[in-house]
Structure 1
Amino acid sequence: EHLLAAWAGAHPEAPIGKQQVVLTVPASFDAVARELTREAALQAGLPENFVLLEEPQAAFYAWLADQSKSWRKLVKQGDVVAICDVGGGTIDLTLISVTQEEGELVLQRLAVGNHILVGGDNMDLALAQLAQTRFAEKGVELDAWQSVALWHACRIAKETLLAPDGPVKCPVTVLGRGRRLVGGTVSVELTRDEVVAALTDGFFPPGPLDARPARRAVSGFRELGLPFEADPAITRHLAHFLKQQTNVRPTRLLFNGGVFKSEFFQRRVLEAVAGWYEVGASSLELAHNQDFDLAVARGAAYYGRAKREGGIRIRGGASRSYYVGIETAGPAIPGVVRPLRQLCVVPRGLEEGSEIDIPGDTIGLITGEAAEFRFFSSLSRKDPPGGVVTKWTEEEIQETSPLVATLPAAADGENDYVPVRFHVRLTELGVLELWCVSTVSKDRWKLEFSVREEG
């Protein structure tokens, strides 16, 4: 709402409702997160025809805008560009392939990573811990208010020290606490060398391609909240993402996000990937966007123009495979919940505008009463439509928020379940329509949610 008010004040002659609006989201957002974003944007007043664009793709579009027509000389057929976007709070990973059709280069999004809550904020907290130790050595114990101020001061120190022309050392200062309103200040110094060492070793450690992020819990009890990662190592998360891709290896790297303003971190990632695939680090680097702060916004504007006037666009389709949870039939056993099997209804890569009949056995559909419909998705599996999965890990397939609905009762209304087959339509607007088509009557029921991912 603040953005819309600012627009109205700056451009009263051009109402936002008449503009083409591109809103960027993390590539790792699943269908539910995208739909919630869409609903919030509409409630705030954005026009109904606005589109969502994945942020790593926006960064790539910014690179295309920077290179103009020369981008075709910088990548070639067969290249796979890994976009590593690390901002304040998340790691966003995407692979884009370069292929050729009728003599023209074509861009295709191959894969996106999971939603990983690690970023620059974690680094600031790590430096705050280091600075707090220094304060303790001086006999200064910081209270909660000062600790928050220390976090912000460490972010400023990090950006100052890691700038290309940054100083060798930088003071970290917070206000003192005393009986007076202003109790003076307390300060310690951090050097560039110790900051680089602490952050590169902690967040960009070397390791093999088959390294996996640590999954550890320090207690059987945990506060409810965001699913923060236990392992802050960005290189391990990147290795795990790349290892999951079958017969795909990156040939070029494009960086984005505030973390990669530091060339120290870019170099560490380049060295890691070069080591994994035994290539030269210099051959991997793709000239990065000039301004990491504005790259996503500029890329979104470039995409909007390409969509309206024509131009190169990244082909996408569904970035995930989607499944419905089917309760298995069997005798009731006290204390035992009947297991689910997963039926694939949207294969990864299904293009928007597609319609498919899902092959397989008929399925019983509950109508006339409230029922919970469970949906699942996977970034890594490539099951065909109608493929049935009976065993899986939480890493392979994740459950999205279930849909609770009461579907109109069938015409006969006599049976608890109506035998149906599935028909799927992925609309041009990125909405998944799951049609449940009765096999014994002309009845049809529709369930839908958004899987929009512009490209």
Structure 2
Amino acid sequence: MTNPTPRYSLGIDLGTTNSAMALAEADGAGSDVVAVTQILGPNQIGEAATLPSALYIPHPDEFPKDAFPLPWRSKKDSDPVVVGRFARDHGALVPDRLITSAKSWLSNPHIDPRQPVLPWGSEIAETKLSAFDCARRCLAHLRESVAVTMAPKGIALADTQVVLTVPASFDDVARNMTADAAAAAGFGDVVLLEEPLAAFYAWTAQTGKDWRSQVRPGDIVLVCDIGGGTADFSLIAIAEKDGVLDLERISVGEHILLGGDNMDLALAYTLRAVLEDAGKTLGDTQFLALSHMAGRGKIALFEDDALQEFPISVPGRGSSLLGKTLSVTLDRATLARVVVDGFFPLTAIDDLPRTTRRTGLQEFGLPYASDPVISKHLARFLTRSRENVEASEALQALVGADALSRPFIAPTAVLFNGGVFKSAPVRKRLLDLLASWTGGAAVRELAGDQPDLAVAKGAAEYGRNRITGKGLRIRAGASRSYYIGLETSMPAVPGFSPPLKALCVVPQGMEEGTEALIQGRDLALVTGETAEFRFFSSEVRSGDVPGQIVPNAERELLEIASLEVDLAAAGDIPPGQAVPVQINAVVTELGKLELWMKHTNSDRRWKVEFVVRTE
């Protein structure tokens, strides 16, 4: 359990590609990145600022049982799964045993996150892992590593407030799964914080008191977070209240599986074409190695402006590698053409992501974005953000009439986050893109620090603010509105199925530590037998209030979960007979959503959780 008076705040960024941690002292200032102990190779241990969120399942005969000694692992520990840098690097050569992007599987609407299906598509004989177990293992590794680091300093995990970040675009199923994985990893109850908000907290901490002079009332800040596997957008409105700057998150984007990994793949295809033009061919394993090396080249060129090219060597096939190593060079011009022009072209604001026509039979897997142009996804987000603001009188008043004078919400400042934005050309291109949409009006860059570590540092800062009750607090709450399906009561008509209604149970912006009791609705709950609950959400209906009915849920909302559950019978009421209930929705202090059905004629109540997805 969390200590009621923690001395420290531990921020954890459980990333799709890389994870990181930062520690802040409650009565101190700033936060420090905590290096992660990890396996670099057989019998080789080291530390790094980040832990690759990769897991490798070795073949039983591949390595000796004691090949991967960790400070916290006993010799009797027979768990063969490797987490971290070696898992990522070695797994690139044996891809059917490598698990990456497990975090994205937590939010896959068609897969139960607790089912062992990863590595996806692999035919290995060893037991596979679930997305939940992958998250738990990564978090357990982080927990053991930080415990070893803090012990010599006399710091115990019981003395820390743990803040775990999640994408703003995560639905509540994925959020709760992430929190449950942290508890299973030994962290207990953790506070959940959206990653773009964490990046903003990190920026204010890094800037110090000067941050208040860099933004002003009327500003709308775009937090643009491009990670290894996802693109996450949020808007924060700056207002003034009683002479003090007031910040509120007004919009979040959809969950878009598009990021640095896509760029690595695009570079690999480009470099493969160069090799093939030279009469050389690559096998599937070699291509994966090429993609991995292209990613390393991208990072090297982005981080060092003086570096003009990056040499890449791919091992040959066969028992003898002599003379079979394939070599190619990634130069800065190719990087700019593929990444900057390919993913961030200067498109129009009304040029939205294309919707590819789906074939009747598809290869099942992660729902990757079909359009790789991030510029178009950003245009869609800003356009939908205006729709969301227009739905709420409170948000309209907050942003002002000028912000609604365009068919999209135009940000006045942008905060970049994610390793991709270490590149000055990428940042400049996105600023030029925004300016082209606003008729040339310059959009200010809020200069950040270490965009690949900012989320962890911002989470630690936020945790300290919670402990002390001081410091900046961005009003955010629920990132979207949530609804529960409601069967329509009407006479049966041949050949006609009445539309499924939806009842708003959590409005967008409902803050942590609050609840909403829905009264004045005649609702009935089936108990004593299996009942199905369907859950929906929307990120553009900010004006909906608890108890509001949406007439056609399947047409107007996004279905996020379907749950079949056996609810205990209510006293002497026969199984299957509906009982009158009221719904009480609670957003806990830790950021989890709980839904209670309260019997109107007794003290009985039933809890329905957003924890399982089924098709």
Q: Using structure 2 for the length normalisation, give the TM-score.
A: 0.69
1:263 aligns with one of 424, 439, 458: 424
Contact 1:35/1:449 (<8 A) preserved: no
- 1:374 aligned counterpart, secondary structure: strand
Counterpart in the other structure of 2:589: 428
- The answer on 1:194 being equivalent to 2:334 is yes
Q: Partner of 1:259: helix, strand, or coil?
A: helix
1:189 is aligned with what amino acid?
A: T
Which residue is equivalent to 1:321? Answer: 481
Shift of 1:360: 4.9
Match of 2:170 among 11, 29, 47: 29
Displacement of 1:429 in angstroms is: 3.0
Cα 1:35–1:409 shift into 2, 3 Å: same
1:289 pairs with one of 443, 448, 454: 448
Matched residues, percent identical?
47
How big is the shift at 1:182? 5.1
Q: What letter is aligned with 2:515?
A: E
SS at match of 2:561: coil
Give the aligned residue type for 1:38: A
2:48 paired residue number? none
Deviation at 1:268, TM superposition (A): 1.3
For residues 314 and 119 of structure 1, the distance between their equivalents in structure 2, rounded to whole angstroms, comes to 26
Q: Which residue of 1 aligns with 2:602?
A: 442
Residue number in structure 2 paired with 1:19: 160
Match of 1:388 in 2: 549
1:371 and 2:531 are equivalent in the alignment: yes
User: Which residue is 1:5 aligned to?
Assistant: 144
**2-structure distance, mates of 1:40, 1:7:** 17
- The equivalent residue for 1:46 is 187
**Residue 216 of structure 1: how far off its partner (Å):** 0.6
Tell me the CA shift for residue 14 of structure 1.
2.5
Structure-1 residue corresponding to 2:560: 400
Query: For 1:215-364, what aligned pairs fall within 5 Å after superposition?
Result: 215-217=355-357, 219-246=359-386, 247=404, 248-281=409-442, 284-309=443-468, 310-331=470-491, 338-364=498-524
Note if contact 1:56-1:85 (Cα within 8 Å) is conserved in structure 2.
yes
> Could you tell me how far 1:314 is from its partner in structure 2?
1.0
Amino acid at match of 2:146: W
SS at match of 1:21: strand
Aligned partners of 1:425 and 1:11: how far apart in 2? 35
Q: Secondary structure at the match of 2:585?
A: strand
TM-score by length of 1: 0.91
SS at structure 2 position matched to 1:45: helix
Provide the C-alpha distance between the structure 1 equivalents of 2:329 and 2:595, rounded to a whole number of angstroms.
60
Please state how far the C-alpha of 1:240 moved relative to its aligned partner: 0.4
Q: 1:177: which partner in 2?
A: 317
How far did 1:390 drift?
Answer: 2.1
In terms of mean alpha carbon deviation, does 345-354 or 402-411 score higher? 402-411
Matched residues in 2 for 1:32 and 1:261: separation? 32
8 Å CA contact retained: 2:536, 2:553: no
**Structure 1 residues 203 and 273, CA gap change in structure 2 (3 angstroms):** same
Q: Contact 1:359/1:385 (CA < 8 Å) preserved in 2?
A: no
- Stretches of structure 2 that go unaligned for 5 or more consecutive residues are 1-139, 387-403
Give me the whole-angstrom Cα distance separating, in 1, the residues matched to 2:496 and 2:431: 50
Aligned length: 446
What CA RMSD, in Å, does the superposition of the two structures yield over aligned residues?
A: 2.3
Kindly state the Cα deviation for residue 190 of structure 1 after the two structures are TM-superposed: 3.1
Residue type at the aligned position of 1:300: A
Residues 173, 187 of structure 1: 8 Å contact kept = yes
Report which stretch shifted further, 59-68 or 2-11.
2-11
Q: Tell me the alpha carbon deviations over residues 93-151 of structure 1, each in whole angstroms, 9 at most, x when there is no partner.
A: 11111111211111111111111000011001001001111111111111122111100
Whether the aligned pair in 2 keeps the contact of 1:89 and 1:117 (CA below 8 Å) is yes
Equivalent residue for 2:72? none
> Which amino acid letter does the alignment assign opposite residue 513 of structure 2?
G
What is the DSSP-based 3-state SS (H/G/I as helix, E as strand, rest coil) of the residue aligned with 1:89?
Answer: coil
Counterpart amino acid of residue 397 in structure 1: L
The AA in structure 2 aligned to 1:155 is: G
Counterpart CA distance in 2 for 1:384 and 1:430 is 19
Q: d(CA) in 2 for partners of 1:267 and 1:393?
A: 41
Matched residue type, 1:409: A
Aligned-pair distance for 1:406? 2.0
Residues 6-40 of structure 1 show CA distances to partners (whole Å, capped at 9, x for unaligned) of 12322223232332111111111111101101111
Task: Tell whether the 8 Å contact from 2:527 to 2:577 is kept in structure 1 after alignment.
Answer: yes
* Residue range with higher mean Cα deviation, 109-118 or 4-13: 4-13
> What residue identity is the alignment partner of 2:165?
T
Alignment of 1:141-180 (within 5 A): 141-180=281-320
Counterpart-to-counterpart distance in 2, 1:355 and 1:59 = 28
Q: 1:54 to 1:450 in 2, by over 3 A?
A: farther
Aligned-pair distance for 1:332?
Answer: 5.3
**Contact 1:410/1:443 (8 A) holds in 2:** no
SS class of match (2:187): coil
Structure 1 CA distance, aligned partners of 2:273 and 2:266? 11
Decide whether the 8 Å contact of 2:500 with 2:552 is kept in 1: no
- Corresponding residue number in structure 2 for 1:204: 344
Q: Measured at CA, do residues 435 and 7 of structure 1 come closer, stay the same or move farther in structure 2, by a change above 3 Å?
A: closer
- Is contact 1:422–1:435 with CA below 8 Å preserved after alignment? yes
Q: CA 1:221 to 1:166, structure 2 compared with 1: closer, same or farther past 3 Å?
A: farther
Q: Is the 8 A contact 1:81 1:97 kept in 2?
A: yes
C-alpha contact (below 8 Å) 2:294/2:312 kept by paired residues = yes
